[in-house]
Every structure is written in structure tokens, then in C-alpha cells.
Structure 1
Amino acid sequence: MIDFRIENERITVEELNEFEEETGVTLPEDYRVHMLQYNGGSPFSYYLYFGEPDDGILLFRFKSIKYGAPLVEKQDYLPENYLSIGYIEAGYLAMSLDKKEYGSIFVYYSEVELTKIAASFTAFLDGLVDYTATFE
């Protein structure tokens, strides 16, 4: 399991529930657990990839619910029912809250089309590999 730095104040269950009520979204349980533990967070490693370093996705950090770079329910360049959840090298991560792809993780670059990379937040986390030994 990969640990993350806590960059912002932790949130409470009440604050998480309030976020869901205010935005009208229901977050997947695995993502809720992560947010309650880290409220976003960034990896300890500078070389944490989803996939291989030469063609994979380098994770920078996740957005927070509160007290930092917050999640935004709707952004002009994301389809309805998608939430921008994090930053990667030269792009972003999004989570689908749509029935068909609920909880799936996508990568996107600016206004370019979304590309599905994991079926759930847990699958995304499980697919992360620390390549520190390769680069040092």
C-alpha cells in the first residue's frame, strides 16, 4: 500500500457528507476512505507512476475536499458527472460519477478527451508503482 503526505488539514465525516450534499454527488466508498485519511495528499515518492515510467502516468497529488486545492464538481471542460480529483504530469485525473462508469478513473489533458485508466479508485491506487530505485 502506498502512503501519501497529508498536505491539508484532515476532514471529518461531517465535512465529507456536507460536500456531497452541497454538490449533489455521492462519492465511491473507496474514495471516501482515502479522503477521510488524507484529504487529498501527495505521494512521498517523486517517481510514483501508474504504468511504466516511459509511457505511464506520473502522479503529483490529489485535490482536497476542503483546506487546499479543492475538488470542483463541474468544470467547463469535463462532461457532466465527472469530478477532477488530481494532478499528473502535464494533465489531470478525473473520476466518473455517472451510472455507467461510476468510480472509474480517467486521465485528461486540458480540453482533450478523457481516457479511462482504472475501473475504480482502488484499482488506480493498486496500479501505482514506485520507481525511485530506477531513477536514483
Structure 2
Amino acid sequence: MINFEIENKLITPQELNEFEIEMELSLPQDYKEYMLKYNGGFPLSYYIYFGEPDDGILLSGFKSIKYGTSLVEKQDYLPKNYLSIGHIETGYLAMSLDEKDYGNIFVYYSEADLEFSASSFTEFLDGLVDYTNIFE
């Protein structure tokens, strides 16, 4: 498992619940557990990829619920029921909160189409690999 740096004040379960009520959404349980532990954060290594370095996704970090780069930022470019959850080297990560693909993780680049990455936040985290030993 990849370790993450906590860069923002941690949130409480109550703050997480308030966020869901305010945003009128229900986050997947695995994602809520991560957010309670890190409230966003970024990987401790610069070379964290989902997939192989040549064609994979270079993860920059995850947005926070509160106290940092928030998930609440305006997201007109995403379809309804999709939430921008993080940054990659040249784009962003989104999570579907739509019933047809609830919890799936997608990559998107500005206004381009969403590209499927993983069927859950846990699957995305489990697919991250640290390639520091190859690049340094």
C-alpha cells in the first residue's frame, strides 16, 4: 500500500456527514474511510503510477473534503453525479456517484471524455505502484 502525506487538518465523521448532506450525495464507504484517515493528501513519492509509467496515470494527490483544495470546487465540466476527487500529472480524477457506475474512478483532461480507470476507490489505491527505484 502506498503511503500518503496528510496536508490538511483531518475531518471528523460529523464533518463528513455534513458534507454529504450539503452536497446531497452519498460517498462510497471505502472513499469515506480514506478521507477520514487523510482528508485528501498526496503520495510520499513523486513516482506513484496507476499502471505502467509509459502509459499509466501519474498521481499528484487527492482533494480534501474541507481545509484545503476542496471537492466543492465548481465542476461544470463533469457530468451530473460525478465528483472531481484528485489531480494527476496532466488532468484529474473523478468518481461516479451515479447509480449505473457508482464508485467507479475515471480520468479526465479538461473537457475531454471520462476514461475508466478502476471500479472502486480501493481498486484504484491497490493499483498504485511506486516506481521511485526506476527513476532515481
Same fold (TM over 0.5): yes
Give the share of equivalent positions with the same residue, in percent. Answer: 72
Match of 1:71 in 2: 71
CA deviation digits over 1:27-58, x for unaligned, max 9?
00000000000000100010000001011000
How many angstroms apart in 2 are the aligned matches of 1:116 and 1:77? Answer: 16
Are the aligned partners of 1:107 and 1:114 in contact in 2 as well (CA < 8 Å)?
A: yes
Unaligned runs of 5+ in 2: none
Structure 1 residue 72, shift from structure 2 partner? 2.3
Match of 2:98 in 1: 98
Unaligned runs of 5+ in 1: none
Structure 1 residue 3, shift from structure 2 partner? 1.3
The one-letter amino acid of 2:132's match is T
CA deviation digits over 1:76-101, x for unaligned, max 9?
10000000000001100000000010
1:19/1:66 CA distance change after superposition, 3 Å: same
Match of 1:117 in 2: 117
Aligned length: 136
1:33/1:71 CA distance change after superposition, 3 Å: same
SS in 2 for 1:18: helix
TM-score of the pair, normalised by structure 2: 0.98
How many angstroms apart in 2 are the aligned matches of 1:17 and 1:74? Answer: 20
Pairs within 5 Å for 1:1-136? 1-72=1-72, 75-136=75-136
State the 4+ residue runs in structure 1 displaced beyond 4 angstroms.
none
